[in-house]
Amino acid sequence: MSVREYPDLETFIGDVRKHNPGQPEFVQAVQEVAEDIFDFIADKPQYHEYQILRRICEPDRVISFRVCWEDDQGQIRVQRGWRVQNNNSIGPYKGGIRFHPTVTESVLKFLAFEQTFKNALTGLPMGGGKGGANFNPKGKSDHEVMRFCQSYMTELYRHVGADVDVPAGDIGVGAREIGYMFGQYKRITNQFTGVLTGKGLEYGGSLIRPEATGYGAVYFLQNMLATRGTDLSGMNAVISGSGNVATFAAEKVTQLGGKVLTFSDSQGFVHDPDGIDQDKIDWVKEHKTKRRGRIADYVQEFKNATYHEGKRPWSVPCDVALPCATQNELDGDDARTLIANGCIGVSEGANMPTTLEGVHVFKDARILYAPGKAANAGGVAVSGLEMSQNSQRRSWKEPELQKLLLDIMQGIHESCLQYGQQSDDYVDYVRGANIAGFKKVADAMLAYGVV
């Protein structure tokens, strides 16, 4: 028997594509990882013998179910819900829940796959999972969202648990939705356990969880800039999105002396040449998160700003960019535009916001480029700390948590340096993150034999 699973990367990806028809996002995420792993395992027969790469690209299970709910007009609505339990080799499945009309099995499989490596990078004992539904919370009343969340959890509860699978928030799922889902879980099971993270502080949530993803992405950027002897102070930053991750990333950039120039949503982007300071960020948080408005309204409030309907912010000249909205929101042309305009660092708050072509453009240009699985791991890391606090039945203090977040982001940066340093001294953070994450999960899989 040959110890090589596949003769080359193309054959392997072709096989993944064949086995996952109509799932382009999943195939894309696998390809991005496999490009580095193929090379890394070339001289390591144990990984081939146990078919680790092939096995790691097959979720442990994909659960899909019907979610029925009643809208305010008394109409019965039907949505599809999922939970993808990708890999629990190093801990219980862990990862967010996304409610968005664009959610498909492919999107959730790519997210659960990415989550597996990301969670490994944090150094905490968490496997990878992701869930969601093709439900659009926009324009829905609180009661409609509540009924949907309750219905979703009425099926999900049998598949999750504090030591089994611990969901959290993602696009369209914030504190409100987590509250409704936790309430329903508690009601059905009569158990108060750490089955979800991102909870309210009154019922087992952790301090700094809301801030953690955005802050963490900026800490990672600071770590990258430090390798070139510079920092954020005085730098112009372009940020996409205007939700949880984008607004807290903007807050940290501002605190560290940078100037934020843009926010976006699914309709377009705003450019504020005066800079989006803390007061303006607070306005965006209130407007987008609490009142669920459109970013376009920003220009009514702040008159020097301009709104660009249907466009993304990457053409605005900047020193650093933080894509914090969604997958594939930055393509090869956007990457070339950023570089031509002088951008030296990109830190991904979102999951897979850059297309494969964009990733190669960044790497070829030798700029500082951190993939989401490294840069946005701060959120799930603090989720992991929330799990620890729930198990201990204690709440840790903010300074302690702030320090842990800083340390974890620095640790991930070091792992990327360890596996991503190239002969010309360039750090390939994609390669570093892929190999460091893969190695940990793969070695645990080897220890278990064929299961």
Return residues touching ligand NDP (CB under 6 A).
100, 102, 169-172, 213, 241-246, 265-267, 324-326, 329, 349-351, 376, 379
| Contacting residues for 260 by C-beta, under 8 A, at least 6 apart | 237, 239, 250, 253, 254, 275, 276, 281
- Of 118, 130, 373, 439, the catalytic one is 130
State yes or no: residue 353 binds ligand 2IT (CB under 6 A).
no
Under a CB-based contact definition with an 8 Å cutoff, are residues 372 and 118 in contact?
A: yes
Bridge partners of 69, per DSSP, are 77
As given in the structure block, the two tokens for residue 25 are 């996002």
Q: How far is the CB of 248 from ligand NDP (least distance, A)?
A: 8
Q: Which is nearer to ligand NDP, 211 or 319 (CB)?
A: 211
Q: Which of 53, 108, 168, 218 binds ligand 2IT (CB under 6 A)?
A: 168
Q: How far is the CB of 352 from ligand 2IT (least distance, A)?
A: 10
Under a CB-based contact definition with an 8 Å cutoff, are residues 129 and 94 in contact?
A: yes
Task: Identify the H or E element spanning 265.
Answer: strand 262-265
Specify whether 138 is catalytic. Answer: no
Q: Which of 87, 197, 206, 347 binds ligand 2IT (CB under 6 A)?
A: 197
DSSP 393: T
Cα(first)–Cα(last) distance of the chain, in Å?
20
Residue closest to ligand 2IT (Cβ): 96
Q: How far is the CB of 59 from ligand 2IT (least distance, A)?
A: 16
Q: How far is the CB of 349 from ligand NDP (least distance, A)?
A: 5
Give the interface size with ligand 2IT as a residue count (CB under 6 A): 12
Q: How far is the CB of 209 from ligand 2IT (least distance, A)?
A: 8
State yes or no: residue 85 binds ligand 2IT (CB under 6 A).
no
Under a CB-based contact definition with an 8 Å cutoff, are residues 196 and 209 in contact?
A: no
Q: Which is nearer to ligand 2IT, 107 or 316 (CB)?
A: 107
Q: Which is nearer to ligand 2IT, 94 or 147 (CB)?
A: 94
Active site residues: 130
Residues of the shown chain interacting with ligand 2IT in the complex, contacts defined by CB under 6 A: 94-96, 115, 118, 168, 170, 197, 351, 379-380, 383
